[in-house]
Amino acid sequence: MARTSTPALAVAAVACAAVGVVPVLAGHAEDEASAVFGVRMPAGYRNWQLISVAHEAGSLNDLRAVLGNDVAAKAFREGITPFPDGAIIARLAWRHEPSAGNNAAFGRTQSFVAGAPTNVQFSVKDSSRYPGTGGWGFGQFEGGRPNRDEALLGTCFPCHSQAPGTADFVFTRYAP
């Protein structure tokens, strides 16, 4: 499986996580799926189990949560890779927003909370459907609508290819 770490791809990886890069097409049934991999938004993903949290500073400026469906969550908890078929990982993100109320309660300017949601990304493990990308299909959604930009979705796998070889293309680790 290809590994790459060129600066060009690293920049593309940043673009992959950016917000609202292109207009979203909607209104047709076939447009419910995100570009390239045909990933659709899984029902009920918001109530999946928490895997971990993260903070991207800089231009992304967001707080993130990674959730997993039951198959993914079990694999994360038990440290099993490669992830079995059926595993779906959801990455939610919100603006990294100062909280005036929390700062007042703490008596210090230190508190940041989840602001407006930015986008939601999914990694779907299906080794039959996605043999050329490590068994993973990727999708991105803004405001519930699929991102249909093929160039953008094309950056997902090159970026995930930079995860450690034992991690099955997944950056996130389970936070106890």
Length of the chain: 176
User: Could you tell me the end-to-end alpha-carbon distance of the chain, in angstroms, rounded to an integer?
Assistant: 30
Instruction: Give least dist CB 167 to its own copies, A.
Output: 9
Using CB under 8 A, count the residues that bind its own copies: 52
**Which C-beta is closer to its own copies: that of 38 or that of 117?**
117
- The answer to whether 71 contacts its own copies (rule: CB under 8 A) is no
Phi then psi dihedrals of residue 89, to 5 deg: -115, 130
Of 38, 82, 84, 117, which lies in the binding site for its own copies, with binding defined by CB under 8 A? 117
- The answer to whether 176 contacts its own copies (rule: CB under 8 A) is yes
- The answer to whether 145 contacts its own copies (rule: CB under 8 A) is no
Contact (Cβ atoms closer than 8 angstroms) between residue 34 and residue 16: no
Q: Taking the C-alpha atoms of 45, 72, 127 and 38 in order, what is their torsion angle to the nearest 10 degrees?
A: 10
- The answer to whether 156 contacts its own copies (rule: CB under 8 A) is no
Q: Which residues contact 105 (CB under 8 A, 6 or more apart)?
A: none
**Which C-beta is closer to its own copies: that of 35 or that of 159?**
159
- The answer to whether 166 contacts its own copies (rule: CB under 8 A) is no
Cα–Cα distance measured from residue 10 to residue 2, given in angstroms and rounded to the nearest whole number: 15
- The answer to whether 57 contacts its own copies (rule: CB under 8 A) is yes
Cα–Cα distance measured from residue 91 to residue 89, given in angstroms and rounded to the nearest whole number: 7
Cα–Cα distance measured from residue 132 to residue 128, given in angstroms and rounded to the nearest whole number: 10
Cα–Cα distance measured from residue 105 to residue 176, given in angstroms and rounded to the nearest whole number: 28
- The answer to whether 13 contacts its own copies (rule: CB under 8 A) is yes
Query: Under rule CB under 8 A, which residues in 16-35 are in contact with its own copies?
Result: 17
Site of interaction with its own copies (CB under 8 A): 5, 7, 10-11, 13-14, 17, 46-47, 49-50, 52-60, 63-65, 67, 73, 92, 94, 96, 99, 101-102, 104-114, 117, 159, 162-164, 171-173, 175-176
